[in-house]
Structures are given as C-alpha cells and as structure tokens.
Structure 1
C-alpha cells in the first residue's frame, strides 16, 4: 500500500541507504498518478542501485509490477543484491555533501611523467596499491569460494555455480571491501577525475587459468563496456592484479592511444560495419600489460580492452574496482 506521507531523502529502513525509500515511493506513485509523481534525478536512482548491486532493469520491473511495502522491497534487495556497509556509508556521506571536491597536493599519487603517459596511452599503473598480504588473503578467498587449490592445477577448471567464463560472481567479503577502499586506489581515481566525491563500485573478481589441450580461453576479447554513441563521455575503469602477472599470463590487454581517435575511427566505418566486430580491431597493435601483485591498472573507457589467452603455467587472478561520480554522464542509447 502506498505511503502518502512525505518521504525525505534521508528517510531509511534497515538497509540504511539514503534515497532508497524515496525511490520506492516514487515508483508506487508512478503507478497511481504519473503526473503527480515527484521526479527523482536518474543519477540518484542509478547510484542507489549500483551501491546495492542490483540491476536497474529487474529492479524497476519489480517496483512497477508489485505492490509490496517498503519493508518487503528491502527484503527483496537483501535476497537479490549485495549489501556492503562501507559502500552504503560512503554513498550517504556523498549525498550529504560531506566530501569536498578540491584535491590537495599531498593527495596526488601520480607524477607528471606518469600523467603524460596516461594522456598518451589511455591507461596508467598504480604501483603497490594494496599490500601483498591482502592480495594473498583475497586469492585464498577466491580459491575457497570456487573449491580450487593453488597447488593443484586439476582443480582450476571445475565448473562452479559462481563461475561465468573467467568471471566469478563473488562480491561480498571484508577483504574485498578492504581492497575497494584502499586509500591509494581512491586517491588515484580522485586525481584522474580531479574531484573527490566519487562512489566505489561493487564489482566482481576474475580467475583466468592457463590454456590446456582441453580448455581454451573463453574471452572476453577486446571490447567496450560503454555505448559507442557519440560523443562518448569521459569514464574510467580499473582492475587489481592479485598475483604477479606476466604478459603471457592472460594479462589485461588494450590498444594504447585508441581513446584519442575512437570517434574518427567510428566516423570512417561503413554503415554495414559493426564497431563491436572484433575483426575490425585486428589492424591495431594490442598491448598485454604485465604487472606485480598489488598493482592497479586504470584505463579510459574509450580504450578497447579485454583479457587474453593464458599461455603460462599460472592463473591470472584480479579484482575489478571502479570509482565514479554520481553525476557521471551516460549515453542511454546503446550502440
């Protein structure tokens, strides 16, 4: 039943997230009288759903097709989402305006030469983003989760419900949150965005084992995670190497510098050519990026990027981590 009382953005339930109750009420109002529904900016809806690790489309479908109470909606989120208290606290602090935007000199982690390389190539490596001991704890968590053993390669290929190719649907853990909230990773994103009011993502981990006679790399190959509708807004992505990773060890791979000419490249494609056809990128030089455990790679979202076949004898293990502002631009049309 619709709660007719005025709901403030700071009104919250047991999950404790600002805007959540107001978003629930807004969708209830939409079903009764759309003209009188108090509109909520899309950036807040998107930010709330990201903070909770719930998909936008299924959540809006649930809200529009059910008459559940707010308590029942929170129960649905607990069953289908990923509740991280540090992320909820961070979201509330940003909404409350507790983050200033100005960066101090001591908060910058990249040198001028590193930034010049970033501008040229579209990716940058933050060395020693987290301690090696935390890398080891995270690796142990991943092995335990998928029932594998670091010293027994035969266990690396077994099916598991949380495996999707080389991706593992593992999100909630104190050590994963510890990595997400690494001060150096946060400062790196803040320096590249040139602002401090950034929200951390609730992303998963990846386990890319060596190819064998019976197992071949399933992808993803070079791709983009953003719409290619022009103009493509500025955005960043990042991953944490949890183990020392050589270039032939399924390393993260990009086409350096592509962010500088992507729109010109899109303009010259024939009308029947699909920019997401991987064959169109074969003319460009790909660069696999090797790095040490604890190193963090950030790349411009305009770079074609992906994993690569692992021809070594050791797995590549990473955690994906991103920071972005609530008001980040998106192209709503997917191309």
Structure 2
C-alpha cells in the first residue's frame, strides 16, 4: 500500500480533528494485512499526540479497532462515548500541526519554578528527579479509592487483593478514564517540571493507566515488569525522552518500589555499541548495571530519562503499591 492510497491527515469527520481518519485507516489496513505493522512508523509521535489530544489510552483504542473493525463513523461514536467532550482548544492546537504555516511555538525561554539548582544537578548526574508533593495526599487517597472500586478490592483487606478482575493485567490496571486521573494529569507542578526538562511548552499529556502491586505471598508471585526500556527502537545516540510515575501511596523500597539504573543515560550509547551483533538489549542482565529502588511518599512524582532501564520489583512489605503513570511530550 503506497502513501498516496492512504487517507490524508487533512481529511476530518464530525469531530473536526485532523489525522484521525488517517489513523483509523492505517489500522484497518494493518488488520487486513494490507499494511505491515511497521509501516508509517515515522508517524508514531503524531499518532500519540492525536490520542493525547482526545484523551484516549493507546491500548484500549487499539483493542477497539482491532477487535471491532468499526467504520470511521462508529470509531468517532466510540470516542465520544469513551472520553469527555473533546477539548476544542486542544483540537485547534493539534490541527495547527498540519498547517503549512505551522512553526513550533514552544521554545520561549523557560524559567525554573519547580526544579531547583540542586534538582537539576541531581538530574544531570542521575537521569531522574523526584517532584515532592506534586499532588495532595487527599487527592491521592481519593484516586486510590477510585482504583480499588474499579477492581473491587479493599485497600486494607489482604483477602481482596488477589482475586481476578478483567481490568488487571499483572500489576497494571486498565483504568484510563476518571475525573481524578485527569485532575492528576493536569497538575501544574507536574506539567511545569516537564516543561523545565524539555525546555519547551508545546507538550501534550498522555492518557495512561494506573498500577496496583500487592505483596507477594506463597501463592502470588510478582509478575513484572522487571527492568526494561519502553523505547520503540534502539538507535545511537539515544534521543532525549522522558517518562513519569506518580506515587499514590507512601512507598518504601521493599514495597514494589519503582526501580531504575541511575546515570545510565550517560552510558547507554557505548553499552549498545558494544553489545554483540544481533543481541536483544532487553534480554540482558540489566540488574547488573546497578538497579536502585526509589522510595517516596504519596503525591511525589518521579520523572526519568527514558534511556534508564526501569521497572517495578517484588513487594515484600505489608501493603500494596498504588501508582499512576503520567507523561508529557512534544508532538515532534
């Protein structure tokens, strides 16, 4: 299938958002094996920004498209039923990305209001930083309550923690749409920290899920994810990129804490170059690189350079770990 045969990003439907019809068309063609899964990989960031604009999670969107094979009209109806009313200002700004006159508007001078000089020094050395009190403890508790209600568990009753629920995938919980999750994503402190690290303001928040990591038992073992990268491809030099996680509860090192390899953003290029040809970086002993669990409190937000191997770990404490994944990135 040639590029010319694919619907143009300029073509819109009733939501009046560009690229959506092309996005739908690409995945319908891939489902029918008329496009390879890797085709139009260069549009991945545009696709991600489209979903951010509409407040859609990647996984539920792809699940709907591939399991349902909807018409474009049905896809738009599903979006309207899944998310709050689309933000017209966001759609307007997204559509500007496809204008011939578009120029990035986000490179004005950034003042440091969240990250201190000490934070920036720590970031440069270690590739991660903790934003303290990014969300109030009260809102974190309410978010945990919403998460627990969704998967039908009691935060403090261990007898409820291990039952099956269709929204549980390992320690991930497929909950994307909730007013509290959206409120946390819009934390001014979190956004400003991302702007200060990106050194630009034209960044878009994703719609990601939450996490529930209960303690290990004789019958329940930690399912992962162990240390890994979320980068789609490994090229050198590894480009700049960020990821983030909000602790919804106080989390000790042994409580399934978020774990990473500090400072590896300075080493990854040489490490990748020196791997034997054909070896998968994800299948190496990443823990031998110097993994560190990060303890932090409810409402603290951790941002890390995506070049750092990262993951969770077995919870050997007495209470579950609750988190929300939040990330901001530019459209380009």
RMSD of aligned residue pairs (Cα, Å): 3.4
- The answer for unaligned runs of 5 or more in structure 1 is 1-5, 29-38, 328-335
Provide closer, same or farther for how the CA distance between residues 57 and 205 of structure 1 changes in structure 2, counting only shifts above 3 A. closer
Match of 1:151 in 2: 156
In 1, Cα distance between the equivalents of 2:276 and 2:116?
A: 41
Query: After alignment, is 299-308 or 219-228 more displaced?
Result: 219-228
Provide closer, same or farther for how the CA distance between residues 88 and 309 of structure 1 changes in structure 2, counting only shifts above 3 A. farther
Task: State the Cα distance separating 1:285 from its structure 2 match.
Answer: 1.7
Q: Secondary structure at the match of 2:212?
A: strand
Question: Residues 244 and 293 of structure 1 are in contact (CA less than 8 Å); yes or no, is this contact kept in structure 2?
Answer: yes
Number of positions where the alignment pairs a residue of Structure 1 with one of Structure 2: 308
Match of 1:20 in 2: 20
Question: Residues 248 and 311 of structure 1 are in contact (CA less than 8 Å); yes or no, is this contact kept in structure 2?
Answer: yes
Q: Secondary structure at the match of 2:289?
A: coil
**1:301 pairs with 2:306:** yes
Match of 2:77 in 1: 75
In 2, Cα distance between the equivalents of 1:22 and 1:223?
A: 31
**1:264 pairs with 2:270:** yes
Match of 1:34 in 2: none
Task: State the Cα distance separating 1:274 from its structure 2 match.
Answer: 2.5
Provide closer, same or farther for how the CA distance between residues 109 and 216 of structure 1 changes in structure 2, counting only shifts above 3 A. same
Give deviations 1:256-301, integer Å, cap 9, x for gaps: 01111111111112235331114x2232221100001000000101
In 1, Cα distance between the equivalents of 2:132 and 2:247?
A: 10
Match of 1:53 in 2: 57
Question: Residues 129 and 304 of structure 2 are in contact (CA less than 8 Å); yes or no, is this contact kept in structure 1?
Answer: yes
In 2, Cα distance between the equivalents of 1:230 and 1:104?
A: 30
**1:176 pairs with 2:181:** yes
Provide closer, same or farther for how the CA distance between residues 60 and 175 of structure 1 changes in structure 2, counting only shifts above 3 A. closer
Task: State the Cα distance separating 1:227 from its structure 2 match.
Answer: 3.1
Provide closer, same or farther for how the CA distance between residues 187 and 85 of structure 1 changes in structure 2, counting only shifts above 3 A. farther
Q: TM-score under structure 1 normalisation? A: 0.80
Find the partner of 1:129 among 117, 134, 138.
Answer: 134
Provide closer, same or farther for how the CA distance between residues 105 and 234 of structure 1 changes in structure 2, counting only shifts above 3 A. closer
Q: TM-score under structure 2 normalisation? A: 0.81
Give deviations 1:220-251, integer Å, cap 9, x for gaps: 00000003421222111000000011111100
Match of 2:93 in 1: 93
In 1, Cα distance between the equivalents of 2:140 and 2:200?
A: 28
